[in-house]
């Protein structure tokens, strides 16, 4: 397939013309969640970004095999080679089986992404379902001489690997800097060098999740699972590997080293990384309380935002920024996106009832279409595509009030294209009147209006009206709080 699609490749820091290894086919692997808690909103942004990429590649006519893993073992605390498995720790704290933790949060992840209208991947493999493949990979790396076994654990020898093949090509870190900036071993680790990473860890007695291997009863390293599963389902060399920016080092760097130690060639042609999501100008973190879960935004049951936001509004908000840009989540930005999303929906809804002229058009539909495709072909530039959709809606509104006109043929074209870009490629959906989230938004809007009327009554010293509104709402378990910063409400 000939295409003008260009993709920003993290491997060399520039945009490249996209060309798949097998014509008309794309192999894409994206690092999925570690399922030990409810899915983080920042993770959702990453997966929505790759859903956009998946949808657009399919629209261009590619047959895409999209593999996104579930990490259900081997991911230790602080992304390190020491400490407790995140899932095992959750299981211990809640006195349940690790696989109960996995099941609970895998279902939560899938349910949340479905609410965001993200398409499921072609294959969703798990780390625990591929222990055999990981053990076989370790055997092969040992045979090649790039790993060593000590006290039942197996480590990848980064220093030895770097002598043959440069390590750090994705993150731009060279081995000398890594050695200089890493503390020396304190005698408590089995590693030869601090830069080495675990391929297999011998399980301590307290470690719940363990499997038999030629070296010990233990568990695989976190980095190994992605190499095992991507190579199994996409081959030793495939088109796209994606994930969050935070995975570039060490996770993706280690993946490259593992694959190149076996095949002496780059495993991936295009590395794509989505940027982070902040909340009110600060990094999202549970420890500081600057954190919010997707479902808390859908229901409005949180202490950060005054109102709820529908999943489609949040998706639209995310897509209004380029996937490589940092996005800051704030109430004002979400409210603006909500209005913009509704404006697009209203414009699209008018298309079926527009009057067309017999011959002339004041709108260059073909030129507009080319702009839309040019935006998406420029590294999946969804904000520019959305800007073009707003231009079209502006013209649609002009036709509706008879200040502009459009031919029947152009109207049909415009209608088809608006549906393709809005619903198929951006993956947005109409908010139905019976949508619970939409009803929440209507309720919040009604309450805001009542509070505005009450405030005006108070300013004009009409205390009968203001007290009537306050007491009536209180009888419906809606508590009003008057503060120096304004009036808010809380559902009791």
State whether 130 and 164 are in the same domain.
Answer: yes
CA distance 348 to 354: 11
Contact 87, 73 (CB under 8 A): yes
User: Do 247 and 288 belong together in one domain?
Assistant: no
pLDDT digits (tens, 9 = 90+) for 313-354: 999 999 999 999 999 999 999 999 999 999 999 999 999 999
The pair of structure tokens assigned to 211 is: 């499997």
Residue whose token pair is 């209507």: 442
Give counts: helices (H), strands (E), the chain: 16, 15
Assess whether pLDDT exceeds 70 at residue 1.
Answer: no
Domain boundary among 239, 274, 309: 274
Q: Which residue has the tokens 């947005």?
A: 428
pLDDT reading at 290 higher than 60: yes
CATH number of the structural domain spanning residue 336: 1.10.730
Crossing angle, helix 222-234 and helix 253-263, to 10 degrees? 60
Is the domain of 89 the same as that of 162? yes
Q: Are residues 260 and 297 in the same domain?
A: no
Helix (H, G, I), strand (E, B) or coil at 243: strand
Domain count, the chain: 3
Rounded Cα distance, 443 and 447, in Å? 6
pLDDT tier at 181 (50, 70, 90 boundaries)?
low
Q: What pTM was estimated for this model as a whole? A: 0.86
Domain end among 240, 258, 274: 274
Structural domain includes residue 10? no
- The answer to whether position 198 is within a domain reads yes
Is the pLDDT confidence value at 152 over 90? yes
- The predicted-structure confidence for 205-223, as pLDDT tens digits, reads as follows 888 899 999 999 999 999 9
CA distance 220 to 85: 11
**1, part of any domain:** no
Owning domain of residue 309: 278-425
Nearest-angstrom CA–CA distance, 118 and 52: 8
Residue 106 in any domain: the answer is yes
Last residue of a domain, one of 425, 447, 480: 425
pLDDT tops 90 at residue 138: yes
Cα angle, residue 445 at apex, residues 441 and 446 outer, rounded to 5°? 120
Q: Is the dihedral of CA 144, 147, 151, 152 positive or negative?
A: negative
If asked whether residues 330 and 455 sit together in one domain, one would say no
CB proximity list for 236: less than 8 A, separation 6 or greater: 259, 262, 263, 265, 267
Same domain, 417 and 457: no
Tokens of 152: 């039942």
Query: Does residue 416 lie in a domain region?
Result: yes
Tell me, yes or no, whether 430 lies in a domain.
no
How many CA atoms are closer than 13 Å to the CA of 461, on its beta-carbon side?
Answer: 0
Asked whether residue 291 falls in the same domain as residue 255, the answer is no
Q: Cβ of 167: how many Cβ atoms within 10 Å? A: 24
Q: Mind listing the pLDDT tens digit for each residue in 45-74? A: 999 999 999 999 999 999 999 999 999 998
Closest CA to 130 of 199, 228, 29: 228
Tokens standing for residue 371? 């702009």
Mean pLDDT of 80-109: 91
How confident is the model at residue 360, as a pLDDT?
79
The closest of 368, 356, 369 to 405, measured between CA atoms, is: 356
What DSSP assignment string belongs to 377-390?
A: HBT--HHHHHHHHH
């Amino acid at each position: 397939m000939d295409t003008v699609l260009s993709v920003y490749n993290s491997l060399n820091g520039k945009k490249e013309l996209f060309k798949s290894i097998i014509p008309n086919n794309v192999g894409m692997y994206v690092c999925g969640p570690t399922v030990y808690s409810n899915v983080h909103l920042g993770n959702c942004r990453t997966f929505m970004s790759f859903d956009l990429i998946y949808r657009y590649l399919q629209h261009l006519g590619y047959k895409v095999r999209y593999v996104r893993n579930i990490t259900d073992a081997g991911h230790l605390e602080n992304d390190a080679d020491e400490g407790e498995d995140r899932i095992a720790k959750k299981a211990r704290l809640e006195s349940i089986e690790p696989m109960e933790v996995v099941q609970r949060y895998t279902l939560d992840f899938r349910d949340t992404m479905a609410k965001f209208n993200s398409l499921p991947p072609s294959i969703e493999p798990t780390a625990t379902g591929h222990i055999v493949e990981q053990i076989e990979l370790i055997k092969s790396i040992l045979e090649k001489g790039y790993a060593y076994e000590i006290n039942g654990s197996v480590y990848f020898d980064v220093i030895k690997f770097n002598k043959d093949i440069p390590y750090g090509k994705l993150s731009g870190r060279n081995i000398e800097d890594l050695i200089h900036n890493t503390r020396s071993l304190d005698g408590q680790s089995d590693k030869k060098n601090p830069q080495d990473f675990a391929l297999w860890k011998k399980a301590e007695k307290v470690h719940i999740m363990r499997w038999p291997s030629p070296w010990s009863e233990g568990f695989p390293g976190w980095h190994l699972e992605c190499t095992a599963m991507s190579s199994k389902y996409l081959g030793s060399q495939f088109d796209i590997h994606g994930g969050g920016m935070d995975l570039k080092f060490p996770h993706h760097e280690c993946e490259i080293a593992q694959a190149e130690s076996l095949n002496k060639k780059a495993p991936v042609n295009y590395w794509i990384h989505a940027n982070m999501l902040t909340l009110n100008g600060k990094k999202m973190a549970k420890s500081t309380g600057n954190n919010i879960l997707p479902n808390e935004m859908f229901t409005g049951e949180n202490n950060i935002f005054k109102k709820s936001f529908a999943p489609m509004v949040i998706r639209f908000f995310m897509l209004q920024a380029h996937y490589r840009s940092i996005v800051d989540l704030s109430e004002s930005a979400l409210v603006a996106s909500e209005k913009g999303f509704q404006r697009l929906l209203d414009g699209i809804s008018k298309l079926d009832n527009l009057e067309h002229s017999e011959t002339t058009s004041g709108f260059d539909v073909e030129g507009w279409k080319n702009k839309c495709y040019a935006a998406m072909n420029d590294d999946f530039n969804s904000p520019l595509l959305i800007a073009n959709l707003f231009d079209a809606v502006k013209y649609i509104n002009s036709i509706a009030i008879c200040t502009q006109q459009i031919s029947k043929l152009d109207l049909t074209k415009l209608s088809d294209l608006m549906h393709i870009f809005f619903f198929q490629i951006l993956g947005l959906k109409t908010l139905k009147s019976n949508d619970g989230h939409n009803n929440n938004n209507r309720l919040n809007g009604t309450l805001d209006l009542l509070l505005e009327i009450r405030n005006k009554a108070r300013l004009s010293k009409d205390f009968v009206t203001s007290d009537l509104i306050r007491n009536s709402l209180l009888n419906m378990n809606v508590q009003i709080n008057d503060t120096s910063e304004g009036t808010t409400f809380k559902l009791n």
